[in-house]
Amino acid sequence: MQQCKDIYGDKFSPEFIQARINRTNTMYGGYGLKVTRVVFPNGSIDPWHALGVTKDLSKEAPALYINGKGKKLFLTHCISCGEEKEVFFAFVLRYV
């Protein structure tokens, strides 16, 4: 938070940050996300994967964890990802 204050000014107080977190959670569902036709791919080497959806929310919103890959690499360049890639594209193709 100090870095935000240093760069953007004193308005970045704990109260300001918490208000923005609350707004984002209200707009997008926070931990109570209700979505369908969404797949959440995460790769173990993606540094942000721990903040992503890592467990299925429902049959219509599965999480897909790819060990040893980043999601961009998986989705664009992975030739030998096997089952994970098949599951992902089978899900996507149901709605195309």
Note whether 76 and 61 are same-domain residues: yes
Q: Tell me what pLDDT residue 22 has.
A: 94
Cα 35 to Cα 58, 74, 85, distances in angstroms: 9, 23, 21
Q: What is the pLDDT along the chain (96 residues), one digit of tens a residue?
A: 788 888 888 888 889 999 999 999 999 888 888 889 888 888 777 788 888 888 899 988 988 877 775 555 545 555 456 666 777 778 778 877
Note whether 3 and 49 are same-domain residues: no
Closest C-alpha to 49, from 26, 24, 74: 74
Note whether 42 and 83 are same-domain residues: yes
Q: Tell me what pLDDT residue 44 has.
A: 79
Q: Where are the strands (E) in 1-96, listed by range? A: 40-43, 63-66
Q: Determine the structural domain holding residue 87 and report its residue range.
A: 33-96
Note whether 9 and 44 are same-domain residues: no
